[in-house]
Amino acid sequence: MTKLSVNINKIATLRNARGGNIPDLLKAAKDIQDFGAEGITIHPRPDERHIRYQDARDLKSVVYTEYNIEGNPVKKFIDLVLEVQPTQVTLVPDAEDALTSDAGWNTIKHMDFLKEVIAEFHSNGIRTSIFIDPVTDMIEAAVKTGTDRIELYTESYARDYLNGNMEGIRVYADAAHLAGKLGLGVNAGHDLSLDNLKYFNDSIPELMEVSIGHALISESLYLGLENVIQMYLARLQ
């Protein structure tokens, strides 16, 4: 069964809107795991507009499943990951002012940089994943960086699915098959939802983990957090 890691950035955004501690991010993380999710994902950004760097530290004692920290590996981020020692770090090439992640790595252009960063994380026992578009050349180059996994950037799949283009899955299925053949683990994330997740998961047998935040938290406003997590888990079986 594909693992569900819940991105809790949006819970932090809601908390920060009033400056207090409601909703309680640490309690939410604990509850999400108790409800059945197999992981917690955070994506701290330099302006700390949602997840704060201190949150990453505080969550270490709360996350008892898989702890995944995403972000652009600038020095401040690297230092944070090395301090916190999560299960997995997902490298994302975000611009500093990015509203949300909007592109995967050019693993050819940034090969040397990625090799260096990944080697440092590996030396500290941290599994690595690279956020990447479903492009053959990028996946083949990703292998050479030494990464353990890739995370397929699924925005175009979600858009195609919404527009009724079911063939949009094909490029992802091919990319995942290639990655598996080359010895890479396959994660996925971005704009996956209750509507489009089952078809994606059923089409990609190599899929190990999905990271979902915005849709899951939004759906929970109507359906309840515990109920929504159970609905996601059912789609991943």
Catalytic residues: 43, 70, 190
SS3 of 148, please? coil
Cα(66)–Cα(206) distance, integer angstroms:
19
Cis amide linkage into residue 86, ω under 30° from 0: no
SS3 of 41, please? strand
Cα(22)–Cα(220) distance, integer angstroms:
16
Cα(232)–Cα(69) distance, integer angstroms:
21
- CB count within 10 Å of CB 187 equals 28
Cβ-contact 55, 62 below 8 angstroms = no
- CB count within 10 Å of CB 181 equals 10
